[in-house]
Structure 1
């Protein structure tokens, strides 16, 4: 997160903190004079180096610049004109909180909306277990949870920022094969961790308090992808944060994987069953989890569900555009779902979109 924080500091937070917590004018003048002298010296000493070399050539070292030990972007003058320096722990925590919160919302709405517009089958609205005002409720749940999930996540980012993780920048620190191997290793590690945590959240002592809010959506839309109880969402994110404290991970790979995780979470809630691959835990597998609760806990693969005896293969009808929306298919799903929900939740307190219509006909 140091890369993201530096970019945000340079283009936003430096100016904000300088405005909110400015140095006394006399001190600010001395600081600016000192910085101008340093800049002139750097212009004399600086050699011509391409951006590509700076980013990817390990033989090129970054010019040490205060307030960071190594930087990718030259800090603006405002970085030095505040009493709350970039190195201030409280400032870092506050900045990381808002970065995580805002970027979480942006990623959520961007990819959930793209999925909704381009992929999601709108006939799902007619399913008997689609909730009244469901998309609005999904978004409300997400918007109320993301700030708290962001807050819980800040300590992990602070620990990374201060060098306690195995995140690295210099690609020559590890063998070249590691740049490729870290991706499947990350997927395998987090898939196992999420399986254990997710299955644990279905234990009766935890389910109703923490995981039930996400299972409110029997037929989810892409906007249900992040609609968790905040503790549920945080717990299921733990493997992602733990990984770089156990295994080396390149900082760029970290950002790529963080983005991929959020996109994948949307894709398994989009209701478009593109693959019936027995290894991949896709949208079809995850739809069965929302319908029948006690199956397909995995995030990326079906491996641990198979080992743990919780795998359920999606029916062939789900991959037929007409059959998956057929009333006979829906009736079969509803009958089984209602039997299971009595066991898992005792009583179904959801308000379905069709409830009012049924009351009118009665």
Structure 2
């Protein structure tokens, strides 16, 4: 995150915002700057990519589903933006710890003992590590003692749109993002890779809420896509994974997508439309 902070300092904060008496390395200034950058960046990614997905990928016929609630899109956006605001506080604390040099993030490929192959290994390692951790965090959030206080807010959207991707209780959202922050404190990771993966997971989260259930045949059994995730919203105790179906399969919570069996949300809408046409 220090690369982003340096760019923001160079082009915006130092020349136009902060007085000369506030040095760039001052902890308070760094925390304020990180909070501004984190909020603006997260909102930009969320609103822009969710809007693009909503208007160009999401099938608006899904809004006719009986479980699609009144004013749902507005409620998703309201909850998502509020959640991003409150999530930014603990997130900035982690970013600040990274900027101060306490993580295992590195700048140059030469700093990795494995070179470029190590970078690709670290990407795979981060994806599998975070997928594993998010699975168990997500599943824990469904425990009856926790669910109604945190995760229930997200599950009011049974037929989600891309805007539901960030519509969480703030603590729920931060807990599910925590593995991405923890990873570079345990394992070496290039700074650009870290930032790229953090943006990627936000876009991926939008994509698994977009109602586009298409996946190449063999990948259905490996990748946790939108078809799998809508099963989670509809049937609650299945498909907790983020990227892959591995942990759902190992832990017995995997459910094959109904959309692939002709029993998904789109199929129900087609049935309802056909029945309405017959009754006219």
Flag whether TM exceeds 0.5 (same fold).
yes
Match of 2:54 in 1: 116
Q: How does 1:1-362 map to 2 (within 5 A)?
A: 1-18=1-18, 22=19, 82-174=20-112, 175-176=114-115, 177-275=117-215, 277-315=220-258, 316-317=260-261, 323=267, 325-327=269-271
* Alpha-carbon separation, structure 1, partners of 2:182 and 2:268: 39
Scaled by the length of structure 1, the TM-score of the pair is 0.71
| Residues 303-341 of structure 1: CA deviation (Å, up to 9, x unaligned) | 111111111011224598963533369xxxxxxxxxxxx
Q: Quote the offset at 1:144 in angstroms.
A: 1.0
Q: Quote the offset at 1:259 in angstroms.
A: 1.3
* Alpha-carbon separation, structure 1, partners of 2:102 and 2:81: 31
| Residues 147-195 of structure 1: CA deviation (Å, up to 9, x unaligned) | 1101111111011111110100110122121011111111100000100
Note if contact 2:62-2:265 (Cα within 8 Å) is conserved in structure 1: no
Deviates more, 1:239-248 or 1:82-91: 82-91
Which structure exhibits the higher relative contact order, with contacts defined as CA atoms closer than 8 Å and separated by 6 or more residues? 2
| Structure 1 segments (4+ residues) deviating >4 Å | 318-322
Match of 1:71 in 2: none
Note if contact 2:65-2:265 (Cα within 8 Å) is conserved in structure 1: no
Note if contact 2:34-2:95 (Cα within 8 Å) is conserved in structure 1: yes
Provide structure 1 residue ranges, at least 5 long, that are not aligned to the other structure: 23-81, 330-362
Cα distance 1:320–1:231, how it changes in 2: closer, same or farther (>3 A)?
Answer: closer
Query: How many equivalent pairs are there?
Result: 268
| Residues 175-229 of structure 1: CA deviation (Å, up to 9, x unaligned) | 1210111111111000001001000000111100110010010000000000110
Provide structure 2 residue ranges, at least 5 long, that are not aligned to the other structure: 274-280
* Alpha-carbon separation, structure 2, partners of 1:224 and 1:234: 15
| Residues 100-123 of structure 1: CA deviation (Å, up to 9, x unaligned) | 111000000111011111110000
Note if contact 2:257-2:264 (Cα within 8 Å) is conserved in structure 1: no
SS at match of 1:191: helix
SS at match of 2:221: coil
Higher Rg of the two aligned structures: 1
Cα distance 1:132–1:228, how it changes in 2: closer, same or farther (>3 A)?
Answer: same
| Residues 232-277 of structure 1: CA deviation (Å, up to 9, x unaligned) | 0000000000000011110111121111111100000001101151
Cα distance 1:309–1:99, how it changes in 2: closer, same or farther (>3 A)?
Answer: same
Note if contact 2:166-2:173 (Cα within 8 Å) is conserved in structure 1: yes
Give RMSD over aligned pairs. 1.8
Note if contact 2:62-2:266 (Cα within 8 Å) is conserved in structure 1: no
Scaled by the length of structure 2, the TM-score of the pair is 0.92
* Alpha-carbon separation, structure 2, partners of 1:115 and 1:288: 20
